[in-house]
Structure 1
Amino acid sequence: MWVLFSLSAAFLAAVVVTLSKAGIKNVDSSLAFAIQSVLILIVSWSVVIFQGNLPDVTRIERKAWIYLVIAGVITCLSSLCSFYALKLGAASRTSSLDKVSLVFSITLAVIFLKDKVNWQLIVGALLMAAGAIFVVFSSDITKKEEKAPASNQAQ
């Protein structure tokens, strides 16, 4: 079941990138993120209330609170960076490079969470990172090739 939810998250993230890129054309990236954050806040707390999990807030341990608050701040910083990158670059390029986070996630999970790794995980992560980087640079090559004939014709 986790695979279905992971794939759903990936698809929805792609939709978010597409809609966000369309929405920030004439809007400051930080303002766009703030608008989305308000909606995220409303929807997420609505889900918690609907599921009846609101009383569980009082049962969260102090250490968990600290981790969740730090993760929340870092999530905001990550999203602000993503929105700014999206404002400056093509959606296909910025979202591809963002996926290099997989390598960072695996590395941090091994170091801090003691996750186990095997050669398939390492090769897969490296292939995904290489693929993301390839997508980013192939877009640059395509743009250079598109510009080259136009400049040759002008001469």
Structure 2
Amino acid sequence: MTERLVDVLDSRKTVVHTFPISLGAPDAQGAAQYEDKALQAAAYAQVVPDDDLHSLTARMRVSRGGPLAPYGDDRNVMSQTKQNLEQAVREHAYFLWLAEGRPDGRADAHWQHAQDQHLRERAYTLWQQEGCPEGKADEHWRLTQQFQAE
């Protein structure tokens, strides 16, 4: 798994957010895959109003020294790398385990429940972002699963 930082820019070419993007195995498109996924993440994260999504562009982050870190994370975005998704699911699974009275042998069930719930919340947010179109909830669920699997 390869992770790169990708800047998302508004119409004035100002960085509105930097996303850490993970890809399993980038193909010949190289940077374009990372940039496309960053723009998808920006839509999920609602970094700008829906009407402004078309004006966003993305570019690979160029570091000029210092630690690489996402920019704009104070926005509490829902985009996540595999590592961040795992951390969110781990925390949620832990709270499910606590709520059930700390039973032994149910770690996998708690993990699956937490991951499913987390992805469904992301799909619901995307569906809401598009104005709750009738009959499109399943499509948003499929897109969220696809986005997470990349």
**Which TM-score bucket, shorter chain as reference?**
under 0.3
Larger strand percent: 2
What is the TM-score normalised by the length of structure 2? 0.27
Larger helix percent: 1
